[in-house]
Structure 1
Amino acid sequence: MWRRGIRTVVLGVALVVLAGCGSETVESDDTADEATRAGTATAWTRAAPIRINGVRTADGGRSLVVDAEVPDGARDCVRGLRGELHTVEHGTVYVMVTFETRSLDRNAGCTGTQRVEATVKLREPLGSRRVMVNSGAVFTPVGAAPPALRQCGENGCDPTPPRCTSSSYRQAVDATDIPRHTSWEERGCDDTWLVLDLSTRMGPVCGDVGDGCSTSAISQRWFYRAEPSGWRPVTMNGDAGCAGIHKLLPELPERLCATLPRLDRG
């Protein structure tokens, strides 16, 4: 009886120890699950840069280095940055720059930005071909200071030189900080200077005459100087003749301002 009692006690202790081990094992699994959930709470998403700041050549023109702006914060916000050659056709090299980020999660804290560089390997030297990054920004080596490429603007990579033509006047108007749908009247033009009277309709859109709707026009006279990229707005003045404008632009030829009427501002 005494030995049977000992065996009973020992068996009971063993069961308690096993039960304790099983309890510890379950607790360890829960901790691992929590760690896994914490690690995957902020999902990584593939994205494109916020902005492309510049492109330059490297390795004798066989590589492109893309200067890009990406998210940044207290924690790691970017990983897996890569630049890839997509295709080459019609004189343009198409490249893609992507990365993984968790900036789409508000809790990630990726509220700032940082500049990074992605390298793209080319099959052959760039030469005179253009570069388009992510189907958006376009850069060209023509007219640039190597190794940097020149970013193309709204008027393309090869803007039309300033001329005394209607299309050139449109470029001048587009380069002026005025509302869209502004009309113009040429007041004088030569190889260096351009004078335009610009008129912008203000007020509601009117229908037939007599419907009680009235509009007004705001007029401005702008003076432009010719530059390689097109007409650049310099200043504005609505005085008659040359006296007023010569205080601002004494180099303006008198033949372009002598007959200017006083501008009717509407």
Structure 2
Amino acid sequence: MGGTGSGGTGMGQWGIRMVVLGTALAFLVGCGSKTVETVEEAPAADSAWTLAAPIRIDGVRTADGGRSLVVDAEVPDGPRDCVRGLRGALDTVEHGTMYVRVTFETRSLNRDSGCTGTRRVEAAVKLGEPLNSRKVMVNSQDVYTTAGATPPALRRCGENGCDPTPPRCASASYQQAVNDTDIPEHTSWEERGCDDTWLVLDLSTRMGPVCGDAGDGCSSSGVSQRWFYRAEASGWRPVTTNGDAGCAGIHKVLPELPARLCASLPRLDRG
């Protein structure tokens, strides 16, 4: 009886060990299945990355004595990683222009990525040789030049091209001055005075409906401003506005303006 009791106790301990071991294996198998699921999800996440170009180029400046560029760009942003592998590279140099490419990989094309915001980044581009007076084209779109720029920044070429028009008392130069003034489109101008340093223009913008014949019952009005410009290397730069007659009003804010350019100015009719 004593021997039989001892054997029963041994079997009971063995049974308990088997239950504990079985529970441990079940737990490990459960953990293993979670690990496998995580590994399987990784390729799906990686497949969401797509090669892209910046949303916008905000500026370009030189570095390393003109042998490198720093491109300020706007890229997607969100709560998760939205950009990786940001890269700037020089593609080619042709006809006085360095062609630069800025790219990165992003998840923003995936609606579930959360990459709905933006942020600013800097992409470095090694040129291998000084930029000197050559232009820079970024991603076959934006063109920048050293002409008329304040180093180390480059100047973005606008609708007047990359080569600034020297300020002069001529119609083409007046048109550039109007284009560089913060006013509505389709604004007309009238010269009121000009010399080698100063330009005075009256600018008029029509407001209201577009009218046809005078007798069709349609009426519109105009908004006028008198702008004063100073000559700079890149063209006429807007300085201030004043619609008073003569020199008294403008000399309060621009005393250096020659009297010969303001003495005969009429009071501006603002329409």
TM bin, normalised by shorter chain, reads 0.7 to 0.9
RMSD over aligned Cα, in angstroms?
2.9
Q: Which amino acid aligns with 1:68?
A: A
Q: Is the 8 A contact 2:193 2:261 kept in 1?
A: yes
Match of 1:128 among 126, 133, 157: 133
| Distance in 1 (alpha carbons) for counterparts of 2:54 and 2:156 | 18
Q: For 1:194-221, what per-residue CA distance to the aligned partner results, in whole angstroms no more than 9, with x for missing partners?
A: 1111111111111223111112222211
Distance of 1:143 and 1:218 partners within structure 2? 32
Give the C-alpha shift of residue 191 in structure 1. 1.1
Which letter does structure 1 place at the counterpart of 2:75?
A: V
Task: Give the conservation status (yes or no) of the 8 Å contact 1:57–1:149.
Answer: no
Q: Distance in 2 between matches of 1:106 and 1:216?
A: 48
Q: CA deviation at 1:117?
A: 2.3
Task: Name the residue aligned to 1:152.
Answer: 156
Paired AA for residue 200 in structure 1: T
- The answer as to 2:32 corresponding to 1:36 is no
Structure-2 separation of matches of 1:107 and 1:206: 50
Corresponding position of 1:188:
193
Is residue 2:68 matched to residue 1:56?
no
Question: Is the 1:67–1:116 Cα contact (8 Å) retained in structure 2?
Answer: yes
Residue aligned with 2:238, SS: strand
Letter in 2 for 1:262: R
Q: Percent identity?
A: 70
1:235 to 235, 240, 243: 240
1:177 and 2:162 aligned: no
Match of 2:229 in 1: 224
- Cα distance change, pair 127–172 in 1 and its aligned pair in 2 (3 A): closer
Partner of 1:244, secondary structure, is helix
Q: How does 1:47-126 map to 2 (within 5 A)?
A: 47-52=52-57, 53-58=59-64, 63-110=68-115, 111-122=117-128, 125-126=130-131
Larger mean CA deviation between 251-260 and 150-159 belongs to: 150-159
Q: Distance in 1 between matches of 2:237 and 2:140?
A: 28
Separation in 2, partners of 1:226, 1:103: 46
Instruction: Give the Å deviation of 1:141.
Output: 4.2
C-alpha spacing 1:166/1:120, structure 2 compared with 1 (3 Å): same
Q: Distance in 2 between matches of 1:144 and 1:220?
A: 28
TM-score scaled by length of structure 2: 0.76
Q: Could you state the TM-score of these two structures normalised by the residue count of structure 1?
A: 0.77
- 1:102: Cα distance to partner? 0.8
Question: Which amino acid is 1:69 matched to?
Answer: E
Alignment length (residue pairs) = 241
In structure 2, how many angstroms separate the alpha carbons of the residues matched to 1:63 and 1:153?
20
Which amino acid in structure 2 is aligned with residue 76 of structure 1? D
For residues 236 and 119 of structure 1, what CA distance do their matches in structure 2 show? 42
Unaligned runs of 5+ in 1: 1-16
Q: Residue 40 of structure 1: SS of its match in structure 2? A: helix
**C-alpha distance in 2, partners of 1:185/1:36?**
71
After TM superposition, give the deviation of residue 181 of structure 1 in Å.
0.7
